[in-house]
């Protein structure tokens, strides 16, 4: 559409001035030639009014997010009448000529909808989202709510899409994270935000995925109410290694692994999608001991269990098959299994398993051409069980066809033992969070979409 408009624009503005578009309708001179001089003034006025009415000289730019693609374009014709008098434009027969009419670009007719209404249409979240929304904080607790029912407790994150604020719902006393998405976000961010919202709205039955409470519109912006978690695994493990000079116990690593694999398996089995951005900053924890996966903005739909988009995700955690330029075919959930292996090795040892890359070519050489990282039982002063070492190294098998999928991972001895183990995750996480608060550490993470 933009290209078509651009070409039409060049036709009008070549030479630095804007000539009149070719007139396909009766002009004043046409009537002067076919009628007497005494009637010319009446016909002049009628013809001019008819011609201007047929020509839509007030085509306005469409409302929506970002800059309009119509700004700066010349007047255009929205419909092409054949010149037969007495018939409405839409009832007149089409011209028998198949020749394209010059200088008349096709654009949408003028739309009177307000920016607010267009914003709501642009989001395309669900028809139930209005200025008054439904807030479901539990299966038994459902409320009608507006922005006035939420008390703002301060900003906890900021991204290119807008802000995330900690708020409390006064009626239920539920504390939540409210993502306030500006109506001006660009199309790419819009798609990511909508994908994220679509996934969480469909995943409320999975305890290992952040919960969606509700959404509403306020002045054209979209407010998305989500479960509030206390910190990301990224900040959590770095504080433990760098400030507390400790390591994460293997029992806690096991619970993190179980929750993440269950969440990824749910996405694949129930929603037929692949996450594509598994990393420590997208795994969240809270004082109650919950461990949940988040950030589904670049999740991809699986077609016959295959995804094809190659540039989605954080490159350091990408599997070899995703960054190898020689691979023409797509990839499947086993690329997320690789990302999980890199994540587990990082949080278990306190460091990223690859040296810092100075270029994409270095990453390409090490990940695609080199040997995969391998965890050992005594790595960086840590002592790990053979089950955990085997699980991590299984995730990091370089050959995709030999790397297991989730159904096999869930049967692994490390997963089964960790799932059955009675571990007080809440006590451990609360202790670390208290230390973070006492040291003034930032607990919240806001990823750029």
Annotated catalytic residue 91? no
Cα–Cα distance list, 109 to 48, 50, 62, 106 (Å): 21, 18, 9, 9
Q: Which residues contact 98 (CB under 8 A, 6 or more apart)?
A: none
Name which of 197, 199, 191, 217 is nearest 119 in CA terms. Answer: 217
Helices 233-242 & 425-438, crossing angle to 10 degrees?
A: 70
Residue 62 zone, left/alpha/beta (φ > 0; ψ -120 to 50; rest): beta
Biggest CA–CA distance in the chain, Å, is 107
DSSP 181-249: E-TT--HHHHHHHHHHHHHHHT-TT-TTBPPEEEEEEETTEEEEEEE--SEEHHHHHHHHHHTS-----
Give me 354's structure tokens. Answer: 């690859």
270 contacts 435 by C-beta, under 8 angstroms: no
Strands 283-285, 231-232: pairing is: antiparallel
Give the tokens for residue 178: 């409210």
Consult the annotation and say whether 179 binds a ligand. Answer: yes
Tell me which of 221, 277, 332, 336 is the catalytic residue. 277
Q: Classify 34 as helix, strand or coil.
A: helix
Tell me the binding residues for ATP. Answer: 179
Q: Which residues are catalytic?
A: 277
Binding residues, as ranges, are 179
């Amino acid at each position: 559409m933009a290209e078509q408009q651009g070409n039409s624009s060049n036709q009008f503005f070549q030479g630095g001035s804007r000539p009149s578009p070719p007139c396909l309708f009766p002009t004043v001179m046409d009537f002067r030639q076919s009628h007497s001089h005494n009637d010319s003034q009446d016909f002049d006025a009628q013809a001019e009014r008819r011609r201007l009415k047929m020509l839509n000289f007030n085509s306005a730019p469409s409302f929506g997010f970002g800059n309009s693609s119509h700004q700066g374009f010349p007047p255009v014709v929205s419909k092409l009448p054949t010149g037969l008098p007495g018939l409405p434009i839409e009832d007149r027969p089409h011209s028998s000529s198949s020749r394209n009419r010059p200088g008349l670009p096709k654009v949408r007719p003028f739309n009177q909808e307000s920016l607010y209404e267009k914003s709501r249409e642009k989001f395309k979240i669900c028809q139930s989202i209005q200025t008054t929304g439904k807030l479901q904080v539990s299966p038994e607790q459902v409320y009608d709510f507006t922005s006035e029912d939420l008390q703002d407790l301060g900003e906890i994150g900021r991204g290119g899409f807008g802000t995330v604020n900690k708020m409390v719902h006064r009626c239920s006393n539920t504390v939540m994270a409210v993502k306030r998405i500006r109506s001006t976000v660009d199309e790419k961010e819009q798609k990511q935000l909508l994908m994220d919202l679509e996934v969480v709205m469909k995943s409320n039955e999975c305890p290992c995925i952040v919960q969606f409470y509700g959404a509403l519109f306020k002045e054209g912006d979209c407010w998305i109410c989500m479960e509030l978690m206390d910190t990301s695994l990224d900040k959590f493990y770095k504080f433990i290694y760098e400030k507390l000079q400790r390591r994460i116990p293997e029992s806690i690593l096991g619970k993190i692994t179980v929750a993440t694999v269950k969440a990824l398996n749910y996405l694949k089995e129930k929603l037929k999608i692949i996450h594509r951005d598994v990393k420590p900053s997208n795994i969240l924890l809270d004082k109650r001991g919950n461990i949940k996966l988040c950030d589904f903005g670049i999740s991809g739909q699986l077609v016959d269990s295959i995804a094809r988009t190659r540039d989605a995700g954080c490159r350091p955690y990408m599997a070899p098959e995703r960054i190898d330029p020689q691979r023409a075919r797509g990839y499947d959930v086993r690329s997320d299994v690789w990302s999980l292996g890199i994540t587990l090795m990082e949080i278990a040892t306190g460091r990223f398993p690859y040296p810092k890359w100075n270029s994409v070519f270095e990453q390409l050489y090490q990940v695609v051409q080199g040997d995969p990282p391998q965890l050992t039982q005594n790595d960086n002063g840590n002592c790990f069980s053979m089950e955990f070492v085997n699980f991590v190294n299984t995730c990091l098998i370089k050959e995709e066809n030999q790397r297991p999928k989730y159904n096999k991972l869930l049967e692994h001895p490390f997963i089964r033992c960790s799932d059955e183990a009675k571990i007080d995750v809440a006590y451990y996480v609360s202790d670390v969070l208290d230390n973070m608060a006492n040291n003034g550490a930032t607990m919240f993470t806001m990823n750029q979409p």
